[in-house]
A = this chain, B = another copy of it.
């Protein structure tokens, strides 16, 4: 680091997007200090496609997902849509420091959330330094994921995006008894997350199915040939 007059071509050939552990202490695992938050929490249920908050709402609550799946959605006037993140059981949302929501949150499927008044979270964070630290690391983690996703949206092919997406979803959610990972979102959602069209999602899924890499059922999938899928998702393509 800190070399003067390095050539850009040299800089290009140093380190790659290798699996770097994002954080020393992943904020997915709730910090002990967050237990203090529990006393302010209330459980709410949202139905499929319900809006938890809209773009432009003032920020009132932070949430933790107990079960289900949530999408964060940015919308353009002409209907173009970008999903910046899918959130599943155990994930936190609405913890950023803005006073106005700049991305809507909607339920992909019927979901149960734990809801914490924002005031209480803020008060706790300004009283307890470890809560502030935890919240900060949570944001860092989100930023890391966002940077990774920018690479996906800017530079990966449709096949790479979808293969990586399936591997990611399989890793984040538990399989049922028959080895199936849930896939609660529909093709349009996947398309709006990966910057593609739903027909492209279909076509690539069919191709992966035909190649024997995956098995697809309504609202679920399983990985039959992980190596093949990882080759598709890999940086090393072409």
Check if A217 is an interface residue, CB within 8 A of chain B.
Answer: no
Known: A97-B23, A150-B153. A235 touches B76 (CB 8 A): yes
B55 touches A15 (CB 8 A): yes
Q: 5 closest A-B pairs (Cβ-Cβ)?
A: A154-B195, A97-B140, A146-B146, A153-B153, A15-B55
| A28-36, A44-52, A198-206, A223-231: which lies at the interface | A44-52
Please tell me if A178 contacts chain B, counting CB pairs below 8 Å: no
Chain A residues at the B interface, C-beta cutoff of 8 Å: 1-8, 11-12, 14-18, 20-24, 44-47, 49-57, 60, 72-82, 84, 96-100, 102-104, 106, 125-126, 129, 132-133, 135-137, 139-144, 146-151, 153-156, 192, 194-195, 235-238
A56 touches B15 (CB 8 A): yes
Write out the residue numbers on chain B whose beta carbons fall within 8 Å of the beta carbon of A73.
11
- Whether A3 pairs with B50 at a CB distance below 8 angstroms is yes
Could you jot down 10 A-B contacts, CB within 8 Å? Answer: A5-B47, A8-B106, A78-B237, A96-B139, A97-B136, A125-B132, A129-B132, A132-B133, A149-B150, A154-B192
B-side contacts of A99, CB under 8 Å:
23-24
**Given the interface contacts A153-B154, A155-B76, A155-B82, does A55 sit within 8 Å of B137 by beta carbon?**
no
Q: How many copies does the complex hold?
A: 2
Asked if B51 contacts A102 (CB within 8 A), the reply is: no
What is the CA–CA distance of A126 and B136 in the complex, to the nearest angstrom?
Answer: 12
Contacts of A16 in B (CB 8 A): 55, 75-77
Q: Which residues of B contact A18 (CB under 8 A)?
A: 55-56
Which residues of chain B have C-beta atoms less than 8 A from A151's C-beta? 74, 76, 82, 84
CB distance from A129 to the nearest CB of B (A): 5
A193 to chain B, nearest CB (A): 8
Given B11, B46, B82, B137, which contacts A150 in the complex, CB threshold below 8 Å? B82
Most buried by B among A45, A100, A139: A139
**Is the beta-carbon distance between A139 and B149 smaller than 8 angstroms?**
no
Which of B11, B84, B154 interacts with A106 by CB under 8 Å? Answer: B11
Q: Contact check: which of B1, B137, B143 meets A54 at CB < 8 Å?
A: B1
Query: A192 contacts which chain B residues (CB < 8 A)?
Result: 154
